[in-house]
Amino acid sequence: MEQRDKGPLSGVRVIDLGTMVAGPVAATLLSDFGAEVIKVEQPGRGDTLRHIGPYADGESLWWNVEGRNKKSITLDLHHPEAQRILKELVKHADVVVENFRPGTLEKWNLSWQELEKINPRLVMLSVSGYGQTGPYASRAGYDRMGLAMGGVLNITGYPDRAPVRPGTAMADYQTALFGAFGTMVALYNRDARGGKGQQVDLSLFEAVFRFTDVMVTAYEKLGLKRERTGNVHFAAAPGDHFQTIDGRYIVLTVSSDRMFARLCEIIPEFIGDERFQTHAKRLANVEAANRMVAAWMKSLPVPEVCRVLDAKGLAYSLIYSVEDIVADPQYDAREAIVTVEHPRLGALKMPAVQPRFSQTPAPKVHAAPDLGAHTEEVLQELAGVSVEKLAELRKAGIV
């Protein structure tokens, strides 16, 4: 079996049955730290993400970011022979990741109950839109549905307009984070506490819901209904996205009296005004407070605004475009963007592995594999498939 750079998860073997983002990215996060991830894809087509742009020379760039560090094999799991082979692979696995609609694996004789019998130490991460149980379990669920039901879409945007989706697949990526975290908790319980393998049941909507902080608690105890408020937040007054004289936007939020006192040194008009003496009063008059900050911000270019805010130690940020990101010295100093060498596309820049550890750094990032590039290697070494049998399987379209 091909050996790659060792990382802190070296020795953990993951079988990635997922498609698109939420499940597969959970596996990618594990592979970033050295886990061996064997991605199982449909023969001839592969993961759906391979067919979503933007493209470079006909290849999906999104796939090349999220398929990194993995091995690819092809198996058509509709076929009993492919199911048998997968069960052989499961005998040698620590983790299986899947994000099919609940009930799909049962139809293929690959349910958690079946796989647990084969490998009692197995951890199975099952990602779905609405979870493995409950009245909505069989519904199809994607990123935006998770954002909708999880409560985030309703509070995102302006009160006089329809809810607005975030600019990236936030529900998918939040779920991937919880998925990787849940998998590691299950592995720790198995290996450090003498436990068994187990299934991790994770839904898009619950992953999103966990990010809604105090929303439900405030509703239950105080009857507060959080609504769309644009860029205004109850913990920041003043706080908004303010435009500078050169047309850029800067985020500035002030949450404490101490920080507000520093802002008063920049905008002395705040001093002595009863409307702004406490945070509660500033929140009640946040529109007036924001207008005063906006007037000051609009009078200056970005470099001068940054200089003044830095001098006072206030928290702010220029709202970055992708051009800002790739040119920024902080990104460069932190090596937050990694360059991966692709055999056909050349150098590909993408987000680096996160987080970073002082003693166990992540291994080198490897390019995403071609479809089925490791089928022969994996099936021969882990499933005992002979060269002759592999040829038969290819002819039949099973691999």
For the annotated catalytic residues, the residue numbers are: 172
H runs (alpha helix) in 56-195: 61-66, 80-90, 104-107, 112-118, 143-149, 170-191
Q: Is residue 340 a contact partner of residue 28, using CB atoms and an 8 Å limit?
A: no
Strand, coil or helix: what is 13?
strand
Sign of the CA dihedral running 312, 313, 314, 318: positive
- Taking CA atoms, 47 is separated from 106, 109, 185, 212, 328, in Å, by 21, 21, 27, 31, 33
> 303 — phi, psi (to 5°)?
-55, -40
Residue at 296: amino acid letter: W
Q: How far apart are CA 114 and CA 195, in angstroms?
A: 19
* Cβ neighbour number for residue 393 with a 10 Å cutoff: 22
Cα-based angle 137, 138, 140 (whole degrees, multiple of 5):
105
B/e letters for 176-196, b = 16+ CB within 10 Å, e = fewer, are bebbbebbbebbeebeeeeee
Q: Is residue 197 a contact partner of residue 123, using CB atoms and an 8 Å limit?
A: yes
Tokens at 268, concatenated: 């002395």
Residue at 142: amino acid letter: Y
* Cβ neighbour number for residue 245 with a 10 Å cutoff: 13
Beta strands, E only, the chain: 13-16, 36-41, 55-56, 59-60, 70-74, 95-98, 123-128, 199-203, 239-243, 249-253, 316-318, 337-342, 346-351
- Taking CA atoms, 342 is separated from 65, 91, 124, in Å, by 11, 32, 31
Residue 29, burial from CB neighbour count under 10 angstroms (0-12, 13-18, 19+): buried
Tokens at 361, concatenated: 């750094």
Complete edge-to-edge strand list for the sheet that includes strand 249-253? 239-243, 249-253, 316-318
